[in-house]
Amino acid sequence: MSLPHPSPDGGPSSPLQIADYRKFWLARFFAVLATTGTVVIIGYQLYDVARTDYGMSITQASFQLGLLGFAQFLPVFLLTPVAGVVADRFDRRKVAGTAALLDMCVALGLGITTTLELRSLPVLYTFAVLHGMVRVFISPSMSAIAPNIVPPQLIPRAIGFNSIAMQAGTIIGPAAYGFMFAAHHALPYWCSALFTLGASISIQAIRHLPAIARDPAKAHPIRQIVEGFRFVWGERFLFGCITLDLFAVLLGGATALMPVFARDLLHVGPEGLGQMRAATAAGAAIVAFWLSFRPLASNVGVKMLAAVVAYGAATIGFGLSRHFLLSLVCLALLGAADMISVFIRSSLVQLRTPDTVRGRVSAISGLAVSASNELGEFQSGFAAALLGATGAVVFGGSAAIVITLAWAWLFPELRRARTFEARWEQ
């Protein structure tokens, strides 16, 4: 596919025409590829160890997956405010690049312990916490870089391309890692070490970032943390967007229990687990590819809310399915709906946030995403212990729909959002 021609005013008409953006895109792809693949394998390995080595029942092992989600969320909860300030005070390339190198060390540790057969629940929990600690510094720094290297009018398209990188990594990572794990349990971790190294090199190769404007009167880190939360709280639209994602996905997430479905309900093993995670990403990638070339332009708020309702409905379908192909279809629809919601929310949040607080707002948004994912895994594990895996997923999908309807009423600003419009100078 050829790149678009420059716009009539001589500027780029596509983010892909910007060399620094292409480096950013590659770094994002490598980082997501490593992270999604690693998270899937840690979850499956922990569930398998709980069932095989510790003799736990399906319910008990499912609860261990919930604890794993909580272990990954705890460092995110504690360090996210710090990560946001770091992204607004220091060179974002160096922050993201250094964090990626530390994540490479975590992958090497997992590869070594797996090769030496030192597998146990405490070991896996420890590395999950370490992975969460370094990952929290990657997300806000990388998220805040794109608006610095892409003109405001191209930000919606850049977010579409960002999503392609994310979903491509999410498709390839879990599927490839599942097959690699079946071949040799340590192989996925060795690959993650290579991918995180590639992410670090790519992000630090970006040549130009504008200096971050700083107010000396508000330079104290604690004051900056408070300022970031105060800004989000004062912007009802941002607050509504971030909390909608938090509560809808927190209650509606089905990914935490995928190892249960793969191993004991659908009987497809680690290879099937990889395909299930890939199906979600495939649905999202198709939509992301479409939106990167034909971004939404009207009634974006209503479309975002409708997409979250569709996400909940697809989650219910996955929970009830006992046919592998039908489950894959439901997961693909789930991913497609989630992509529409993420595309709209991310575009609006970026365009309505000034650069001086973008790192902190990105960190707060990332905290909500992590809470909805990792803490949602804890919720799913706890619900599965009470309702079973099927009951937990169906309950979660239904709750996501209820939350969306409630937010549409509590935050009319979401319904009224018509177009993507920059409120701040980028």
Distances in whole angstroms, Cα of residue 385 to Cα of each of 64, 71, 249, 392: 10, 18, 19, 9
Cα(381)–Cα(367) distance, integer angstroms: 20
Cα(274)–Cα(387) distance, integer angstroms: 25
Q: What is the pLDDT of residue 34?
A: 92
pLDDT one-digit tens code per residue, 323-355: 999 999 999 998 898 888 877 777 767 666 666
Distances in whole angstroms, Cα of residue 118 to Cα of each of 180, 221, 273: 19, 40, 23
Cα(344)–Cα(318) distance, integer angstroms: 24
Q: Angle, to 10 degrees, between the axis of helix 58-89 and the axis of helix 121-149?
A: 40
Average pLDDT value for residue range 133-152: 81
CB 45 within 8 A of CB 185: yes
- State both tokens at 353: 């946030």
By C-alpha distance, which of 403, 64, 386, 360 is closest to 231? 360
Residue 256 phi, psi dihedral angles, 5° rounding: -60, -35
Average pLDDT value for residue range 420-424: 52
Q: What is the pLDDT of residue 362?
A: 64
Q: How confident is the model at residue 6 (pLDDT cuts 50, 70, 90)?
A: very low
CATH of 220-421 given 3.65.10.10, 3.30.1520.10, 1.20.1250.20, 3.40.50.720: 1.20.1250.20
CB 306 within 8 A of CB 360: no
Average pLDDT value for residue range 360-379: 63
Per the prediction, the chain carries an average pLDDT of 79
Q: How confident is the model at residue 3 (pLDDT cuts 50, 70, 90)?
A: very low
Q: Which residue has the higher pLDDT, 297 or 146?
A: 146
Lowest mean pLDDT among 45-59, 136-150, 176-190: 136-150
Q: What is the pLDDT of residue 121?
A: 92
Is the pTM value of this prediction over 0.75? no
CB 32 within 8 A of CB 172: no
> Percent of the chain at pLDDT above 70?
78
Fold of 14-208: Growth Hormone; Chain: A; (1.20.1250)
Lowest mean pLDDT among 53-67, 144-158, 163-177, 220-234: 220-234
Q: What is the pLDDT of residue 9?
A: 53
- State both tokens at 260: 């249960």
pLDDT one-digit tens code per residue, 70-114: 787 788 778 877 877 787 778 888 899 999 999 999 999 999 999
Cα(142)–Cα(204) distance, integer angstroms: 11
Q: What is the pLDDT of residue 249?
A: 67
Q: What is the pLDDT of residue 426?
A: 44
Q: How confident is the model at residue 399 (pLDDT cuts 50, 70, 90)?
A: confident
Q: What is the pLDDT of residue 209?
A: 65
CB 24 within 8 A of CB 149: yes
Q: How confident is the model at residue 374 (pLDDT cuts 50, 70, 90)?
A: low
Distances in whole angstroms, Cα of residue 43 to Cα of each of 10, 22, 136, 160, 305: 49, 32, 19, 29, 30
Cα(358)–Cα(351) distance, integer angstroms: 10
Average pLDDT value for residue range 57-63: 83
- State both tokens at 43: 């979850």
pLDDT one-digit tens code per residue, 248-277: 766 666 666 788 888 888 888 877 887 887
Range(s) within the chain of domains with CATH label 1.20.1250.20: 14-208, 220-421
Q: What is the pLDDT of residue 226?
A: 65
Instruction: State the DSSP string of 353-364.
Output: S-GGGHHHHHHH
